[in-house]
Amino acid sequence: MNLILISADELNPNHSIQLTDRRFKHIRKVHRAEVGDALKVGVINGELGTGEILHIDEQRVTLHVTLNSPPPPPLPVTLILALPRPQMLKRTLQNIAAMGVKELHLLQTRRVEKSYWQTPLLIEETVHEQLLLGLEQGRDTVLPRLYFHKRFRPFVEDELAQLTEDQHKLVAHPGDFPHCPANVNEPTTLAIGPEGGFVDFEIEKLQAVGFKPIQMGARILRVETAVPALLYRLFGHLA
Amino acid sequence: MNLILISADELNPNHSIQLTDRRFKHIRKVHRAEVGDALKVGVINGELGTGEILHIDEQRVTLHVTLNSPPPPPLPVTLILALPRPQMLKRTLQNIAAMGVKELHLLQTRRVEKSYWQTPLLIEETVHEQLLLGLEQGRDTVLPRLYFHKRFRPFVEDELAQLTEDQHKLVAHPGDFPHCPANVNEPTTLAIGPEGGFVDFEIEKLQAVGFKPIQMGARILRVETAVPALLYRLFGHLA
């Protein structure tokens, strides 16, 4: 927790806030903070600033919050991801929030097991929790928006062209394609397939709406590793 | 498991091998393989090839192994990593093996909790297991070599200069430094600090032996995320 994230409605009119939950426990046990210490604080979907500890005991901490700077800029990317296995989904949600992705589309593809859509991880509250963990890690305040598409074809044929108009469009796919570029400045949509990859039909459909395949080489990376690797290669110069 | 990894001494003189362990279970339950199917096989520290299924039942599988190609080229990198927390260490060992790192130095630094050296994850057998999982993921056969340095100063002052002679030397560190470069071709040593970073004294010692600080931006990534991100940014064009 590199940032204490709070909701605007938790803040009292005098700019103080009292915490008793996992944030309090973290401040007490990990930061080992004392009265007078200043911690990094952010308001969800709002500004960053500091929280000065006015009072701390074994039950609660009271902070005086001063907000004074904007959150870090988002990455200029829309991510389209075949729905990963639940355990990978968890870390992927944290990673994309930490790295500054603000729009994630989770997609059914041929090689996605349909049962993955039943995972409790996709419940709104749990998704929210993972995204908050990511924002706390990356010191950002702005929650990514998630969209679910349980049918590949209508999404790609009817929605994707419009969604990605004027964008640089890349799809990571094994094969004799160019390597992933580095240092891209244009708004980009990046599509990443499931374990086992997209099937030919799916790649053709993506190419038909303007996606250019890029390869990651002979090595196969897990989705939770491939996503941050691709994002940082494309946009590390903007970080 | 994108590759069935075997030891040279498991292979019979007639190039067959019988498996009954987790590799057999994976072939049966995940691949759902049948007689005649060909699976990707590799010999630890040796060649890649295929294993044709001669026989499979509920207890065992017998493969006929043909070796015919070298493993993918290693990354031209030596990695120096402040010893991460045990859970992060596990995934980091898998990731570096999957991505083609062949030399990893784990290092004590001021902000590494000394208790981390007591983790059962550092037992040789467990490290080996994690590295195999990574090689199976990345379809490589060559085990990375690991070195442990429980004292920062003697390692950096007495060993590091010689170890990294003529190499490009980078240390990831927050601050007003250049961004991480992309597409590096020279042999490189990359140093990555613990959560909380190196302390000033440590950065000065690393700079004294030629390390150039690079920053990853305002966002703070977990080590298990930062490592593959940095590696793929630096060397994705060689993958």
| Cβ contacts of A232 on chain B, cutoff 8 Å | 180, 216, 229-230, 232-233
Give the one of A72, A182, A219 whose C-beta lies nearest to B219's C-beta: A72
The residue-averaged pLDDT of B63-78 equals: 97
Q: Is B19 helix (H, G, I), strand (E, B) or coil?
A: strand
- The pLDDT of residue B195 is 84
pLDDT digits (tens, 9 = 90+) for A101-153: 999 999 999 999 999 999 999 999 999 999 999 999 999 999 999 999 999 99
What is the separation of C-alpha B178 from the centre of its chain, rounded to a whole number of angstroms?
26
Domain final residue, candidates A32, A53, A69: A69
Q: Which residue does chain B place closest to A1, by CA atoms?
A: B220
Question: What is the pLDDT confidence band of residue B87, given thresholds at 50, 70 and 90?
Answer: confident
Q: How far apart are CA B138 and CA A97, in angstroms?
A: 26
Is there a contact between B86 and B119 (Cβ–Cβ < 8 Å)?
yes
Q: Is the ipTM above a cut-off of 0.85?
A: yes
pLDDT at B47 over 90: yes
Contact B182 A183 (CB under 8 A): yes
* Residues B57 and B89 occupy one common structural domain: no
Do the strands A16-19 and A61-69 form a parallel or antiparallel pair, or are they unpaired? antiparallel
* Residues A41 and A124 occupy one common structural domain: no
Domain final residue, candidates A69, A93, A115: A69
* Residues B37 and B83 occupy one common structural domain: no
B139 in contact with A at a CB cutoff of 8 Å? yes
Torsion angles phi and psi, residue A147, rounded to 5: -130, 140
The residue-averaged pLDDT of B194-205 equals: 94
* Residues B150 and B37 occupy one common structural domain: no
* Angstroms from B162 CA to nearest CA on chain A: 30
Question: What is the pLDDT confidence band of residue B51, given thresholds at 50, 70 and 90?
Answer: very high
* Angstroms from B217 CA to nearest CA on chain A: 4
Sheet holding B188-192, edge to edge: B145-149, B103-107, B77-82, B188-192, B168-172, B212-214
- The pLDDT of residue B163 is 92
* Residues A159 and A136 occupy one common structural domain: yes
* Residues B43 and B131 occupy one common structural domain: no
- The pLDDT of residue A172 is 97
* Residues B144 and B43 occupy one common structural domain: no
Q: Which two tokens stand for residue B125?
A: 């057998």
B227 in contact with A at a CB cutoff of 8 Å? no
Domain final residue, candidates B19, B38, B69: B69
Total of domains in chain A:
2
Any idea what the CATH number is for the domain that residue A96 is in? 3.40.1280.10
Contact A217 B95 (CB under 8 A): no
pLDDT digits (tens, 9 = 90+) for B161-170: 999 999 999 9
What is the separation of C-alpha B134 from the centre of its chain, rounded to a whole number of angstroms?
7
Q: How far apart are CA A49 and CA A71, in angstroms?
A: 9
* Residues A56 and A94 occupy one common structural domain: no
Q: Which residue does chain B place closest to A235, by CA atoms?
A: B233
- The pLDDT of residue B60 is 97
A227 in contact with B at a CB cutoff of 8 Å? no
What DSSP string describes A77-98? EEEEEE---HHHHHHHHHHHHH
Tell me which residue of B74, B149, B163, B64 sits closest to A219, measured CA to CA.
B74
Q: Which residue does chain A place closest to B227, by CA atoms?
A: A229
- The pLDDT of residue A130 is 97
Q: Which domain holds residue A167?
A: 77-238
* Residues B84 and B128 occupy one common structural domain: yes
* Residues B178 and B89 occupy one common structural domain: yes
The residue-averaged pLDDT of B137-150 equals: 97
* Residues A46 and A82 occupy one common structural domain: no
* Angstroms from A98 CA to nearest CA on chain B: 7
* Residues B62 and B86 occupy one common structural domain: no
* Angstroms from A119 CA to nearest CA on chain B: 20
Any idea what the CATH number is for the domain that residue A65 is in? 2.40.240.20
pLDDT at B239 over 90: no
pLDDT at B50 over 90: yes
Contact A139 B220 (CB under 8 A): yes
* Residue ranges in chain A whose pLDDT is less than 50: none
A185 in contact with B at a CB cutoff of 8 Å? no
